Amino acid sequence: MVNDCSTDTVAQAVREYEGVTRKRVIGDMVRSLWVDSPDIIASFGEDAAVIRHNAEDALLLAADGIWSKLMEADPFWAGYCAVLVNVHDIAAMGGKPVAMVDILSVTDDQIRDEVTRGMVAASAQFGVPIVGGHLHPGTPYNVVDVAILGTARMDQIIFSDTAEEGDLVIAAIDLDGRIHPSCCFNWDSVTMKPAEVVRAQIRVMEDLGRDQLVTAGKDISNPGIIGTLGMLLEVSEKGAAIDLEAIPRPDLAALRLPFEQWVRMYPGMGFILTAKEENVEEVCRRFADVGMTAALIGEVNESQKLTVRYLGRETQVFDLDRNGIMRIFVEGEACR
C-alpha cells in the first residue's frame, strides 16, 4: 500500500520539491544560448545532445553538476554521483558511454582526494574512463562538474519528446538498495553492486533503443519519479495519468520512509519510459533480467496535464501547457 498519504499530499510535495522548482530557470538560459545548427539532431530538453557523426551514427554529449549541499555532506558520494548521473544521461538516450572529462573546484586537498576517489570508483565500476578536465585548487567553494561523450546509432536513439497519446508509462527502478546515509533523497542501489550488474543494467537501455521497444525515455533524476515524467511530458507536449499504487517501491514501512519522499528521491538506477501496449511486457522482462523492477504506472494523453490517482481520487500535479517545469520552448517549439 501507499501508506496514509493522499494524492493532494503527493502532488504538493512534488510541485514544491527543490529538485523540481530549480528546473524553472532552464528556459531563460536556453533562450539566451540557442543557436541552430544542421548537424545538431537534438539538444536542450534531452538528457544528452545528439550530434550527427555520419549517415548511421551519432555522438551524444552531456554534462552534469552536483549540488553543493551534497559536496558538503559527502565529497566521496558527490564524486561518485558526478559520474553516475552522466552515465545515466547517455544510457537514457539508448547510447553507449565512451569517456568523461571533469572540472573540479576545491577548497583543500582533503576534499579533492575524496571527490576524486568517488569519481574513480564509479568510473571503474561502470567502465567509463575519465580522460581529462580542469582543476581549480584553493577556491572558496567546492564544485564538481563532469561532461560525457557517448555514441549511438541514429536509429536506436531514445528521445524525450516522442511520447504519443495512448502510450503506456513504465517506471523501472533497482529497489535493492538503501537510503544513502549522507542524503535522505538519494536511493543508493549501485555502490554495493558488482561492475557486471550495473553495466548490464545500463545496457538494457541500449538494447531497448536498438530493438525500438520504447517511444520515449529519461533517466530518473533530481526531480524524482513523477517530476522526471513531467519533464518528459513537457517536451513531448503531452499529459498523463498515473496510479500511485503501481509505482515500484521498496518496503517503505520497514524503511520508515514516507511515500511522498520516495517519489522525490534520486534512485541509483532508474528510468521513466513510454511504450506501445504490445511492448510493455517485454520491456519489463528485460529490466527484471538485470535485477530491476519495472511496472506499468499510467498512460499518456493529450491533456498536457500530469495527474496522480489513488483510491479513486485524482489530483493534478502539473499543468504543463500553462506552467512547464523547464519552460524550454523557443517561439512555441522545443529545442530540437
156-172 pLDDT, tens digit per residue, is: 999 999 999 999 999 99
**Helix (H), strand (E) at residue 120:** helix 109-126
Q: In the sheet where 216-219 sits, what is the strand order?
A: 216-219, 270-275, 168-173, 293-301, 239-243, 305-310, 313-319
Claim: this prediction has a pTM higher than 0.75: yes
* 253 band by pLDDT with thresholds 50, 70 and 90: very high
With a pLDDT cut of 70, the percent of the chain lying above it is 92
Q: Where in the chain is the domain with CATH 3.30.1330.10?
A: 47-154
Q: What is the distance, to the nearest Å, from the Cα of residue 187 to the centroid of all Cα atoms in its chain?
A: 13
pLDDT at 4: 56
Asked if 306 and 318 touch (Cβ cutoff 8 Å), the reply is: yes
CATH says 47-154 is which class? alpha beta
For the chain, helix (H) and strand (E) counts, in that order, are 11, 16
CA distance 321 to 332: 11
* 3 band by pLDDT with thresholds 50, 70 and 90: low
* Chain segment 16-69, per-residue pLDDT in tens: 878 777 766 666 666 666 667 788 898 888 999 999 999 899 999 999 998 777
pLDDT at 323: 82
Radius of gyration of the chain measured on its C-alpha atoms: 19
* Chain segment 194-231, per-residue pLDDT in tens: 999 999 999 999 999 999 999 999 999 999 999 999 99
Question: Can you state the percent helix, strand and coil of the chain, rounding each to 5?
Answer: 35, 30, 35
* 330 band by pLDDT with thresholds 50, 70 and 90: very low
CA distance 132 to 140: 23
Q: Where in the chain is the domain with CATH 3.90.650.10?
A: 7-24+159-319
Asked if 198 and 125 touch (Cβ cutoff 8 Å), the reply is: yes
CATH says 7-24+159-319 is which class? alpha beta
Burial classification of residue 5, based on how many CB atoms lie within 10 Å of its CB (0-12 exposed, 13-18 middle, 19 or more buried)? middle
